[in-house]
Amino acid sequence: MFKKLRNRLLLMNLSIISILMLISFSTIYFITSNNIHDAIQQDLFRVADINKNDKIVLPKIDVFGIEVVAPEYNKDEKDDKANDKFSQERLTGFIIETDDNFQMTSWLSFFSADDTFFEAALSAVKPEDRATGDFDLDDSHWAYMVQKRPSGYVIAYVDMSTQKQVLDRLILTFIAVSVGMFVLIFFISSFLTERSIKPIKESYYKQKQFISDASHELKTPLAVIHTNVDVLLTNTDEQNKKWLEYIKSEVERMGHLTNDLLYLTQMEGAEDHQMMKTTFNISERLEHILLGLEVVAFEKNISLSYDIAPDTEMHGNAEQVSQVMIILLDNAIKYTQTGGEISILLGKSTHHINLSVTNSGEGISEEDLPYVFDRFYRADKVRSRESGSYGLGLSIAKTIVEQHNGRITCESKVGDQTNFTVRFKL
């Protein structure tokens, strides 16, 4: 139980921290990437302005959802000053001019390259798709911008390999930091989670020890009282015998209660490796239990029908699984009116063994349904006491089923029927 609680707290803590880290790193990456692309756009505008001899039709270029308009060109600025500025900033770029049919007419480059390089760069651009873009060419990553001019098109190119490497390294850095932080946070969270549940664990074990000690202490006086009552019953007149019968009945009831409490505390504290599990035939177990209950059902005039898949095997503790079936069938007989019906189904699917016990009767109200597996909870307290029930049977059944990695559920229609379904994993 505490292992599951610890794992849930640890998983919740790691999930929250992971989401926060992802949001933080994504925000940093987006801002950095946006700033780099804005800087590249400015470089593309400067490169395009170097050879501006005609008036340019200034396009609106979409950059990450932001419309960027090319800066106005200063006609008084000389081309040589632009070239000097271009060289001083050490931008690696070039310009290709085309006609209206997008055929290259000239090019201007500030580094040495042959015609095939520029033809390849031009073929990578599709002006009808977008005004800006990027592509890989000769082990470099290039950004481009297309501008429409009266005489055709001007395509400006800037080498953005360094910026791309920065973004790639940023992603790798984030991944490395995330993995390292996740491992560190895992150990820290594991330590803090263990410290957090330690007081709860100590309180639970003290409560469990108290119930166990009290059950053991009650066993001895109850046994003595039971023995003395038996002796008195054999030597008492009929007038006083009924009072001794009442005492004996209550002593037996208290004995069952202490035994169930002790068993429940032992089950909840047991780890999976402490349980003796074997492969057994659950079909034969259920048939054997039904043989013993058919007489009880016959005495109450209850119709008992069952459909049991033959030779169904499961891995678990045979005695505990048998106790679950006894509890469900015993409850069904107790709460089925005379002349009612009980149906039992045992089947096997690809991954599960399914056991269903359905009985007709008054049913369980929607208000009581969520609490049927709680300790000492009884929907009809008067009738439960008359039948000798004290509200631990279903709690024990649920504990056993969960110890076998299974699930037990209850569905009921008031005035019609109640159905308990148990599902064990194969």
**What average pLDDT does the chain have?**
78
Phi, psi of 94 (to 5 degrees): -160, 170
Strand 341-348 to 303-308 pairing: parallel
In which residue are the tokens 């015993």 written? Answer: 330
One-letter amino acid for residue 203 of the chain: S
| Dist CA 297 CA 305 (whole Å) | 11
| pLDDT for 268 | 62
pLDDT band of 65, cuts 50, 70, 90: very low
Q: What's the burial of 150, exposed, middle or buried (CB within 10 Å: 0-12/13-18/19+)? A: exposed
**CA distances (Å), 185 to each of 54, 78, 83, 196, in order?**
61, 60, 53, 16
pLDDT band of 96, cuts 50, 70, 90: confident
Long-range contacts (CB closer than 8 Å, 24 or more residues apart) made by 288-294? 289/322, 289/325, 289/326, 289/329, 290/329, 290/344, 293/329, 293/330, 293/333
Token pair for 44: 């593309």
> CA 294 from chain center: how many Å?
44
Q: Which position has the higher pLDDT, 225 or 58? A: 225
**What percent of the chain clears pLDDT 90, i.e. is strictly above it?**
12
Q: Which position has the higher pLDDT, 264 or 185? A: 185
pTM for the whole structure: 0.50
Please tell me the least confidently modeled range out of 208-222, 276-290, 403-417. 208-222
Q: What is the pLDDT of residues 219-264, one digit of tens each?
A: 777 777 777 777 777 776 676 777 777 777 777 777 767 776 677 6
pLDDT of 207 strictly over 80: no
Q: What is the pLDDT of residues 118-154, one digit of tens each?
A: 888 888 887 665 688 888 888 888 889 888 888 888 8
pLDDT of 79 strictly over 60: no
Q: What is the pLDDT of residues 300-326, one digit of tens each?
A: 888 889 899 998 999 988 888 998 998
| pLDDT for 61 | 39
Q: Where are the beta strands (DSSP E) in 60-139?
A: 60-63, 66-69, 93-98, 104-109, 132-137
The one-character DSSP state at 57 is B
Q: What's the burial of 17, exposed, middle or buried (CB within 10 Å: 0-12/13-18/19+)? A: middle
Nearest to 221 by CA among 245, 251, 244: 251
In contact, 258 and 215? CB cutoff 8 Å: yes
Please report which residue ranges of 64-148 form alpha helices under DSSP H.
79-88, 115-123
